[in-house]
Structure 1
Amino acid sequence: MSWRQSLRLFSFATLVLALTLPSVTVAAQGVKALAVTASDSDPRQYRALVFDNGFEALLIQEPGAQTHWVMTVAAGVNQDPATLPDLHRLAAMAKLAAVGADWRLRSEDRYSLFRADDLGELTRAAALLSATNIEQSLIARTQQQLADLQRTGHQVSDDERRIDVLRTLVASGHPLAQRTGQSASLVQLPLLEPELAQFWQRYYRPDNARLVVRSQESLDELQRRVSDAFVGLAPGPALERAPVAEMFADDTLPLQVDIRVQSGPQLGLYFPMSNPEALYRQKPLAVVTELLTDRGPGSLLSLLRSLGWAHTIQAGRVLSSDSDSLFALEIELTELGVAAREQVVALVFYVIEQIPYKGLKPWRFDELSRLAELDFLYTDARSARDLPELARRLHRVAISDILSAPYRFTAFDEKLVRRYLEFLRSDNVIIALSDSQVSSDTFTGYTRTAYRTQSAASKHPDIKLAVRRKLAFAEPNNFVPKRLVVKEAQLLPGPGGAADGALKVVDKPGLEAWFHSGQNLSMPTASVYLRLQLNTVESSADAAARHLLWAQVYRQQLDEILYNAEQAGAEYRLWAHPLGLDIEVAGFNSQLGLMLSRIGQAFSTPGVAPSGVKRARELLIEQLGRPTSEFLSRAYTDPLLQWHYRPSWSNVELIDALGRIQDEELRRAPPVGQLLMLCAGNLYRQEAQRLVALSEHYFLAEARPTGEQAQLVTAGRAPLAVAYRDGELSVYFQAAGSDARESVFTRALAGLLNGELLTVPAGEGETAPPPLAVRAEPFPVAGRPGLLLQSSQNASPDELLAAVLERLAEPDTGQRLDELKAVWRRQPREPELPPWQGRELWRELPREQTGDYRTALAALNSASIERYARSLFQAVPYPLVAPEDSQQRSAYQKARTLESLGPVVP
């Protein structure tokens, strides 16, 4: 769960869908079972256990889940003595060694985490919390192990560098201060033993530990196993809490810090404050965080972007102890923003000053409370449970609130919010600029990060009236659903009219649209998929680059326009590809019309601010140079996919063309030649047709523009094979057909071969070549199944295929196929969770797949898979020119003909 989600304010006053059960006292003495507030949409069962000795455990019964448990002990970096770093790690490792456990151990600021996959190990977990004398020889051996671990190389991230500097600035004696002195792994035993004994007595006790167990076993069985292990533990002795020192010495703040990092510049404002974790029902910082990190029109970030000073902004706590914490506002700056850092800081404090007067409105709490109910019911319930996070949370919230705590809110307490807002003062801040250009002779002791400090001004420049007028707090969010309705199954149309249950609802020149009611009728969610096939975007490298740059500018504009929709639980994605642009929209069924309207209104008038175009150009150049992107289709980075588009241009040509595009060329959207659309999910057919009509209005002009569209090509009747080298050998085989059998068999080949070490058969009198390590994956293109094999650079295609056939002829192939089939029968072909219903169907349209998946699966055996592989490998791989060789590629493009490639697939 993100920091934004965890800081939201959510009301449970109207959450009637939560499951609340009375507490139950069980037969075993010393433990009591309690109910856990959970959503009715959650398929899991929960039970909380509270022991008389102070220990607490959460039990999760999840159908089909593998057994796994996590135990946390509140003993981490914060608990190390000021002059004895790493004592908490040594204590945890020595405890593990003493009970003979080989578990995963993780060390954090406030906790040590122990993880295992066997319920039988719970007895040993309980032994960690009991008083035991550990032999000196075992402690010495553990010291050596810890010293060896510390000598292992570790790549320090920029976030770790910033945290290290902040800890260095915290006053000595505070739990968050950086520890100094010799590591516990190097201290002599006579001096170390008393410290270890005191550490174990203070922290390794039942009331300082929490457990989360997940299994498919019944809750009664889990309760029995956990109770048997932990109920007999004696409670720890009463301890006095030592007074906590101030986080920063008097007259330290405000402070300016420059930190050397490797990434781009970032401005951080860090405010020390009392830890608000105990106030998880009131969440005093949530509205403040929402106002500061808003991306919508009139927001601080919108203004900073328009000035060309910043890219992103986020807020949350970066360091926490039991009593206090650092609240951070972090802004990713541009080069111009670095030069204007003082003005950026002044704008931040101006916005903070306005919050008490214009921002603290009860309706904001009400709005976030409504979002709480939706998130808790429809998002959280279907999320994978993060057991370590739940185990940490058990230390901080009432156990019955363990699931609902990030969303729970009681009432708007304006006085409390104002009290926490008082911490965000200009005289109570560390202003840190992280940049690669910082030079200093001062270094931290832990990560050896260079930094320098100086006093910061508590007064900042006034903001001009013209600038102040551009800032405004958000109005009520129109995307928040007022009421949600699950459409009744009997009123939804059934399958028919097309493959896979998709019903074609519009078929006319320039527009084809399908509707599918989805498989999940218990949630009011739906998705809309649009493909805008654009004319002439690939007619030249300049036209292709102009399309990509326009689409990136359009995407950046939507980031602001649809911010409110994202806050209300909706999602959208844009993918640029040689055919045009794919837009995917998902959310509650009542939101889709408004989202499509906003997207359509921005379509023909993308923002063309010079700073935005500059940022878009930089992002595109960066993404064209790496193997994956969240915006560009793999057709721009994968040599194999590039070969299937006609025409297509190398990344070198596209990057070169991007530099020639003028801002004025981006004022109009490329003309749409054809619109393809799928509406899927909990919708009525009439609603889907209205969404189609709305999209037609915004994206299709009355007179269809002329111009040739780019085309996607695939093989004809004969299989298509391609071989190319891009650091390693890649051989691609496209299936001769597009039915279910081809899909199942190519997928089976990938499952059998991926990760295998294959033996290459040697000819008579020849020395056997070294074995080949192979990666294999199913690789459909244009709806046609395919298989991609990749291996070491020194192999030839013939050697690779010979090794594959040799492996398929081995006797264990049938058994391995049976194992694969058993897994596939238990799982959907491509499981997906709402709201992205219908994505796999969208990939299949408009192609209609023939054949039955179950029949194809039944026909799969060792003999049939070997025959299929031999037929697939009959095609001689065509050598593909390396995409880096632009001159050869250009000649190859001209020589390529339609007959050599096969038919065009829309």
Structure 2
Amino acid sequence: MQIQIAAARAVQASLFVLVGLLAACASPEPPSSSVTPIQSPNDRFAYRLVTLDNGLKTLLVSNPETPKAAASLDVQVGSGDNPEGRGGLAHFLEHMLFLGTAKYPDAAEYEQFVTEHGGTRNAYTSFEHTNYFFDVDADHLPDALDRFAQFFIAPNFDEAYVDRERNAVEAEYQMGLKSDGRRGLDVLQASMNPEHPFSQFAVGSLESLADRPDASVRDDLLDFYEKHYSADNMRLVILGREPLDALEVMAEEMFSAVPNLNVELEQIDVPLFVDSQLPMLLKVKPQGTLRQLEVNFQIPDYRADYYAKPMSYVSNLVGHEGEGSLLSLLKREGLADGLSSGTGLSWRGGALLSITIALTEKGVADYERVLQAVFAYLDLLRSEDPKEWIYEEQSAVSALAFRFREPSAPMRYVSSLSNSMHYYQDADLLQGPYLMSDFDASMINDALETLTPPRAQVVLTAPEVTTDRESPYYGVNYSQLGPEALMLSRWRTEDVAGLHLPAANPFIAEDVELVTVADDNPALPELRVEQPRKRVWFKQADEFRVPKGAMYVSFRSPLVSAFAEQKAASALYTRMVTDSLREYTYPALLAGLGFNFYNHAQGISMRVSGYNDKQLMLLKELLASIAQQSFDPARFERLRRDMVLELQNTVARRPSSQLMDDMRRALSSGSYDEPELIAALEALDVKALDDYRKAFWDSARAEAMLYGNYPSSDVQVMSETLDAVLRDGDGEPALGPQVLRIAERESLELHSQIEHNDTVVAWYLQGAGQSWSDRALVALTAQITESGFFQQLRTEQQLGYIVSSFPWAQYDVPGLLLLIQSPSHSAAHVFDAMQEFLVGTLNDITQEQFQRHRQALINATLKPHENLQERAEFYWQSIATRQWMFDSPEQMAAAVESISYEDWQQAYRELFLDAPRSLLALSPGAKGVTPESDSEVFASPEALRHGRETYAVDLSPL
């Protein structure tokens, strides 16, 4: 361990030297009014932080090679700032800014421009923030940015759209009525101090946003906007391929008109819970079968102490899953299956630390024993001085993560940066999240002193609980007990054994040197091992030079999805394996080594990724453990029961997701409904699962890939390692999936009865075949219809919150999906609107628009990979789908480019209007009115699929 700590300190020391050197040469000498943030040695972007004359702090990011430009503006105002009685106003304002400005008055203009130029746009409202972001093909950044800037200069707040967009907020509210996440939040807000701003209704509804005799909601919107949307309360990030100087000019020209109102953010001194409320016990009845225990503590706001990060130290230990951990004890006693810890909610003045535990049925019945274990572990942390070596381990892992940070998607990156700019000093904008350089034992001890039973709010969520109250907005049944009714002695005990701090982490990377790229390194992955039972592909990463790699194996077998019994057994088997290995693999996860073991339609896959230093060591141990696997009967029963409960919990998922699951079962083989899988699980016992395990490995063949910082000698080592689980002989070929073939002019209907008031309509239009031309036509149509479908059916007609048109391929069979979930209209009305939209689109799209959409799709198809992991995923999916030339993007782009405007019009008319291959799925909801049609109607996916012709999809040579 001392070697690791010394190595970690050396890494940090060299890191800061390298960072300083790279920061100095990343761009020309910036103006004196700007700052160059410290950046990762692996970061090739150029950065400049400037403050515009109006006080708007702006981070400029130049990447000359980026295919996508992006921007984000974060306003430090959110649902916690809603005026009293105006729940959801901040969220409503976020919606309204997209709907026209003085310079660009057309409400559809921004959405249409971004989509036609290969981009996407969105926003979110949280308690403290409203964050707006977009990306676009890099050549079109100036025009997109000009439209975006007007949101914060001169939005229209058009009266007509104020009235309409209230319906969108209402639809979002209605959609969440059966979401256990939103329902739990409603109870939390109802139980806290009503003086705290977080207690306010966050989403909004027609009622909370209604006009009132003394004030219209538009007036309140304007007041809110003019009070909070101030340049000094905003942070802007712009990422483009232009040089920094050009980006700075762009920012000044477009955003200098944002007004500066000299907003002063007030500290929130009101506590989330007053002393007389704590301790508190809430019991919440969920919509589904959720069983969970939350232990919440109000703690200080440590965001300004980001060099120390005391709660990272505490949460890392409380949430640890290795040997001696809190979760290990709870699993051993059969009380819990999962645990997480962290500060999910913060405000100017405090934060909420939440310990969230996934309970078993036994854990619900004995939740006080779970609480005893939680408080015993917190007592353990208080009883020993904070360990500097544990802190330095965490620091070393964070330093490595920063040193070898790789690029991510531009839009996600700028959105994250614009939010974090509010909390880090200028020089630390990039490295702030990774810094853990100031070990402060007293600060950690002070934090631990807040985590005691008298200061706890405990939330038990389970179907079994008894309740006597109802929450105000989501109608959740719950009960609440305060300090006068609770016996804290029942939450404490001395009878807890086996808890201790984790041992030194053996998986922290020590060798981070880059392997020399061999002269014979192939341009594309090359098959280096080809045997009857296994194949191994190999390529060194020559573009992404980081000490990381992706080690993937697919164990393919015909015994995983031909029947529901196989699907259930393979799912339970992989869960049993993952669960049994969790104590061993969790330290690897903390050290940046990912491990996953999961079932799929063609077999069971294992993935090991991250720093390559300890990967083969991990793989050998994992396969050796799997080869000697045995099943503990008690653990088997708990995991099987958990899976049954999860399958029963589908009622809590949004209706559109449930309907799409039904459509998948109708269209593709290897999927089964919940009752079938539940019956299969309930029929399994330990012996049957062990028999399945043996049969699977008797039949399995392995396809593997090594891509990353590996010497070629690792191929043979990996090949030999796979022999730990592979049997002698040739094994058996996996079953290729079957996809329903819908005939020309065939019209099928699937009616699902989903327990929700909302109507859901999903209209699937299948492509003519499997060729690249067929795929290109459908993908191009999806690109063309995306913006208009949203704008017309959501913004203009207000049919619902979920309104989307997108490509929905089933393996290599293309299809277009139109999806709407509506709280206000019948299925018949929604389907009529969909049909009208498709007819109108043919006449609405001009040749110029078509050409822009075609180029946007080509650019998206040929978009370079951002990082090693993204490239690895592409290679692996190409291998899995027999695309051994690894040229599917080029094939697709060429097919798209070959489509003329006239070709598309003719194909569109044939595919989507005159002779469609149609599957209409719907859930009628409370309206109950379905479309009138001559289509054949089915009540289940299985009945629809029965006896119908299918496409055979050949995915495996093995």
The TM-score range, normalised by the shorter chain, is 0.7 to 0.9
State yes or no: 1:110 paired with 2:110.
no
Match of 1:565 in 2: 588
SS at match of 2:507: coil
State yes or no: 1:619 paired with 2:637.
no
Q: Give 1:416 shift.
A: 0.9
Q: 1:464 to 1:380 in 2, by over 3 A?
A: farther
- Identify, as 1 or 2, the structure richer in helix: 2
Mapping 1:457-468, distance limit 5 Å: 457-460=487-490, 463=493, 465=495, 467-468=496-497
Deviations 1:644-700 (A, max 9, x none): x8xx9998766543322211333473234433322222211112221221222x212
Q: Give 1:453 shift.
A: 2.8
The one-letter code sitting in structure 1 at the alignment partner of 2:446 is R
Q: Give 1:482 shift.
A: 1.0
Match of 1:418 in 2: 445
Q: Give 1:340 shift.
A: 0.9
SS at match of 1:33: coil
Mapping 1:538-687, distance limit 5 Å: 545-577=568-600, 579-604=602-627, 605-616=629-640, 618-619=642-643, 638=665, 641-642=668-669, 655-667=678-690, 669-670=693-694, 671-673=697-699, 674-687=701-714
SS at match of 1:522: coil
Match of 1:393 in 2: 420
SS at match of 1:677: strand
The one-letter code sitting in structure 2 at the alignment partner of 1:70 is L
Q: 1:324 to 1:689 in 2, by over 3 A?
A: same
Match of 2:370 in 1: 344
Check conservation: 1:71, 1:391, Cα contact below 8 A.
Answer: yes
Q: 1:53 to 1:236 in 2, by over 3 A?
A: same
Deviations 1:400-456 (A, max 9, x none): 222222111222111111111111111111112234455555444454545423323
The one-letter code sitting in structure 2 at the alignment partner of 1:419 is D
The one-letter code sitting in structure 1 at the alignment partner of 2:370 is V
- Counterpart-to-counterpart distance in 2, 1:724 and 1:198: 52
Larger radius of gyration: 1
More moved, 285-294 vs 589-598: 589-598
Q: Give 1:344 shift.
A: 0.7
Check conservation: 1:47, 1:60, Cα contact below 8 A.
Answer: yes
Q: Give 1:278 shift.
A: 0.9
Check conservation: 1:10, 1:407, Cα contact below 8 A.
Answer: no
Q: Give 1:350 shift.
A: 0.3
- Counterpart-to-counterpart distance in 1, 2:384 and 2:562: 52
Check conservation: 2:70, 2:238, Cα contact below 8 A.
Answer: yes
State yes or no: 1:15 paired with 2:40.
no
RMSD: 5.8
Match of 1:301 in 2: 327
Match of 1:484 in 2: 512
More moved, 824-833 vs 342-351: 824-833
Identity score, percent = 20
Q: Give 1:830 shift.
A: 8.5
SS at match of 1:562: helix
Q: Give 1:353 shift.
A: 0.7
Deviations 1:456-492 (A, max 9, x none): 3333455565x512x3332122221012122222455
* Counterpart selection for 2:73 from 59, 70, 76: 70
The one-letter code sitting in structure 2 at the alignment partner of 1:213 is I
Q: 1:391 to 1:223 in 2, by over 3 A?
A: same
* Counterpart selection for 2:273 from 226, 248, 270: 248
Check conservation: 2:533, 2:729, Cα contact below 8 A.
Answer: yes
- Counterpart-to-counterpart distance in 1, 2:374 and 2:748: 52
Check conservation: 2:406, 2:867, Cα contact below 8 A.
Answer: no
- Counterpart-to-counterpart distance in 2, 1:746 and 1:145: 38
- Counterpart-to-counterpart distance in 1, 2:51 and 2:848: 50
- Counterpart-to-counterpart distance in 1, 2:99 and 2:903: 49
The one-letter code sitting in structure 2 at the alignment partner of 1:528 is M
* Counterpart selection for 1:427 from 445, 450, 454: 454
Mapping 1:182-193, distance limit 5 Å: 189=214
Match of 2:548 in 1: 525
SS at match of 1:382: coil
Q: Give 1:296 shift.
A: 2.3
More moved, 657-666 vs 847-856: 847-856
- Counterpart-to-counterpart distance in 2, 1:477 and 1:464: 29
State yes or no: 1:211 paired with 2:264.
no
Match of 2:796 in 1: none
Match of 1:738 in 2: none
More moved, 558-567 vs 292-301: 558-567
TM-score by length of structure 2 reads 0.71
Q: Give 1:564 shift.
A: 1.9
Check conservation: 1:562, 1:598, Cα contact below 8 A.
Answer: no
SS at match of 1:272: strand
- Counterpart-to-counterpart distance in 1, 2:804 and 2:55: 53
The one-letter code sitting in structure 1 at the alignment partner of 2:51 is V
Match of 1:712 in 2: 736
Check conservation: 1:164, 1:178, Cα contact below 8 A.
Answer: no
State yes or no: 1:402 paired with 2:439.
no
- Counterpart-to-counterpart distance in 1, 2:98 and 2:814: 46
The one-letter code sitting in structure 2 at the alignment partner of 1:58 is L
Match of 1:762 in 2: none
Check conservation: 1:39, 1:377, Cα contact below 8 A.
Answer: yes
Higher relative contact order (CA 8 A, sep 6+): 2
Match of 1:747 in 2: 775
* Counterpart selection for 1:290 from 316, 320, 335: 316
Q: 1:519 to 1:748 in 2, by over 3 A?
A: farther
- Counterpart-to-counterpart distance in 1, 2:96 and 2:809: 49
Q: 1:596 to 1:851 in 2, by over 3 A?
A: closer
- Counterpart-to-counterpart distance in 1, 2:674 and 2:468: 42
Check conservation: 2:665, 2:672, Cα contact below 8 A.
Answer: no
Check conservation: 2:341, 2:354, Cα contact below 8 A.
Answer: yes
- Counterpart-to-counterpart distance in 1, 2:101 and 2:434: 39
Match of 1:3 in 2: none
Check conservation: 2:237, 2:414, Cα contact below 8 A.
Answer: yes
Check conservation: 2:344, 2:353, Cα contact below 8 A.
Answer: yes
* Counterpart selection for 2:359 from 328, 333, 353: 333
The one-letter code sitting in structure 1 at the alignment partner of 2:605 is D
Check conservation: 2:41, 2:404, Cα contact below 8 A.
Answer: no
Q: 1:606 to 1:745 in 2, by over 3 A?
A: farther
Match of 2:716 in 1: 689
Match of 1:824 in 2: 858
The one-letter code sitting in structure 1 at the alignment partner of 2:73 is V
- Residue correspondences, number: 831
- Counterpart-to-counterpart distance in 1, 2:570 and 2:49: 55
Check conservation: 1:776, 1:789, Cα contact below 8 A.
Answer: yes
Q: Give 1:595 shift.
A: 2.3
Unaligned runs of 5+ in 2: 1-8, 111-121, 135-142, 751-762, 786-802, 820-826, 829-837, 912-916, 920-935
- Counterpart-to-counterpart distance in 2, 1:124 and 1:678: 49
Check conservation: 1:486, 1:682, Cα contact below 8 A.
Answer: yes
Q: Give 1:840 shift.
A: 3.8
- Counterpart-to-counterpart distance in 2, 1:666 and 1:591: 31
Match of 1:763 in 2: none
Q: 1:92 to 1:729 in 2, by over 3 A?
A: closer
- Counterpart-to-counterpart distance in 2, 1:360 and 1:258: 34
State yes or no: 1:166 paired with 2:181.
no
Q: 1:852 to 1:694 in 2, by over 3 A?
A: closer
